[in-house]
Amino acid sequence: MSVTPLVELRGIVKKFPNVVANDHVDFSLMPGEVHALLGENAAGKTTLMNILYGLYHPDEGEIYVKGKKVKIRSPADSIKLGIGMVHQSFRLIPVHTVWENVVLGLKEAGFILNKKKLAETVKKVCEEYGWNIDPNAKVWQLSVGEKQQVELLKLLIRNVDILILDEPTSVLTPQETKNLFKALRIMAEKGKGIILITHKLEEVFEVGDRVTVMRKGKVVATKPTNEVTAEELANLMIGRPVLFKLEKPEVKKGNVVLEAIGLKAMGDRGVLALDDVNLRVHSGEILGIAGVAGNGQEELVEVLAGMRKAHGGRVFIDGEDVTNKGVKYLIEKGVVYIPPESTRWALVREMRLVENVALKLYRSKDFSSTFTINWRKLFEFSKKLIEEYDIAAHSPSILASALSGGNLQKVVLARELSTTRDGKVPKLILAAYPTKGLDVAATEFVQSLLLKYRSLGSAIIFLSEDLEEIMMLSDRVVVMSRGRIAGEFLPTEKTIEEVGMMMVKGSAA
């Protein structure tokens, strides 16, 4: 007996200026299935699901829900059809309680709200999925993982059968990710269909039943996850073999570029975030910094970049005391900073690509005079960066908001690494989670770039939440815990498990 798909998309086409986002795409979702939708940034995954959710309208193609052809004009139509979507950016009201957010707009809640009954309903659903959320807690009090659970609660209360999750783990800790996947399996066992938009291969195998791979707006394969390997999926995603382990050539370590002695700094909450940190980095060396989030890693690179004040200790670059000298001075010394969430902190999404490049160059004599900026030269330079860094932008005039996350990260890297003083390579690169949230190809590109500048003699401090990545790229590794250095070693001296224990315990394993 054949089972009717919950969703069928047939020949979906969606065009935007200068790009075909979806090119005659076919996709289906079965009851009780977690279907991973895999692809690089800008492969067309989110666009396709925005069509299913009613945020976009297809230029061509047909949509069937539970065997019936439908027209979806808005998210309201989708919700009526039993379709719900959790976006990367949560749609919650921070000052309202959990239950208030969940029932907002819910007709079944009635005109006069029975607060006790609604809170109990929310709590009951939480218990079904093993979530420990207080229905009366304010949303602003919740962790990121709990906020995501509230988004799912909004859909489950409305009895949706089809759930779309857009890159749901990009903001989650490993434990929160594990809890999410456990909940998704429970949903699937209840007969619901889940579409998991992702670019992470490990997630496909951890929770997916089937996987559809998209590349440049087209579906290139749909397969059961137990019939495909990670290497095959990666090749399908980017159209070529992927180097899961990059070659790291031998580089002769040079002079000490950076030295921090007894460094202390306060965090945003007014408590000590760095406590007597000592470290050195040489030219031609990558120093990896591992640690559980919130143990001082970000505050450390901010102090070294001149963005956070040191309250004790000294920072030296090439033997010169540069403690608290400020960002402009350190840039002139050849310090490059790639911040965490660089697409949030290092770019203005409402500005054009060329204007974002100009943020670092408007004082340069090559691109400006006393009173004017030479936009012609900036356009030429931006075009050069687009080509060199393979940024998917048809023109420097494109708005940053029109680019995918991976391409925005390339813009940041291109600007920071290509606009150092006197055309020289950066003296010190502070790279805070530069591959976080990137797809396989973009991650490979960033990693190769760091190794390239290592070979050119830059000193590099590299932060990553991926221990395998830390061990693969780094020449030395330090572990941070509670704002202090808990251990230092060569990658060959420790296993990933031992490093993980150091991170948790705060001392050498």
Domain ranges of the chain: 7-238, 256-505
pLDDT digits (tens, 9 = 90+) for 360-403: 888 777 788 778 888 999 999 999 999 988 888 889 999 988 88
Taking the C-alpha atoms of residue 80 and residue 69, their distance in angstroms, rounded to an integer, is 14
Q: Is the dihedral of CA 219, 225, 231, 232 positive or negative?
A: negative
The whole-number pLDDT of residue 252 equals: 87
Name the CATH architecture for the domain at 256-505: 3-Layer(aba) Sandwich (3.40)
pLDDT digits (tens, 9 = 90+) for 286-333: 999 988 777 889 999 999 999 999 999 999 999 999 999 999 899 889
Name the CATH architecture for the domain at 7-238: 3-Layer(aba) Sandwich (3.40)
Residue 291 falls in which region: left (phi positive, over 0), alpha (psi -120 to 50) or beta: left
Question: What's the pLDDT band for 509 if we cut at 50, 70, 90?
Answer: very low
Q: Which of the 8 DSSP states describes residue 425?
A: P
Q: Which of the 8 DSSP states describes residue 493?
A: G
End-to-end CA gap in the chain: 57
Three-class DSSP category at 209: coil
Taking the C-alpha atoms of residue 83 and residue 486, their distance in angstroms, rounded to an integer, is 48
How many Cα atoms sit within 13 Å of 309 on the Cβ side? 4
3-state helix, strand, coil in the chain (%, to 5): 35, 25, 40
Tell me what the mean pLDDT of segment 38-51 comes to: 88
> What does residue 134 show for φ and ψ, rounded to 5 degrees?
-80, 115
pTM of the model: 0.67
β-bridge mates for residue 288, sequence order:
462, 477
Residue 423, pLDDT > 70, answer no
> Is it true that 7-238 and 256-505 share their CATH fold?
yes
Q: Are 400 and 348 contacting, i.e. CB atoms less than 8 angstroms apart?
A: yes
pLDDT digits (tens, 9 = 90+) for 439-480: 777 788 889 899 999 999 999 999 987 788 888 999 999 999
Name the residue among 429, 489, 487, 437 with its Cα closest to residue 465.
Answer: 437
Name the residue among 290, 344, 314 with its Cα closest to residue 499.
Answer: 290
Q: Is the dihedral of CA 305, 309, 311, 317 positive or negative?
A: positive
Q: Are 133 and 98 contacting, i.e. CB atoms less than 8 angstroms apart?
A: yes
The whole-number pLDDT of residue 242 equals: 59
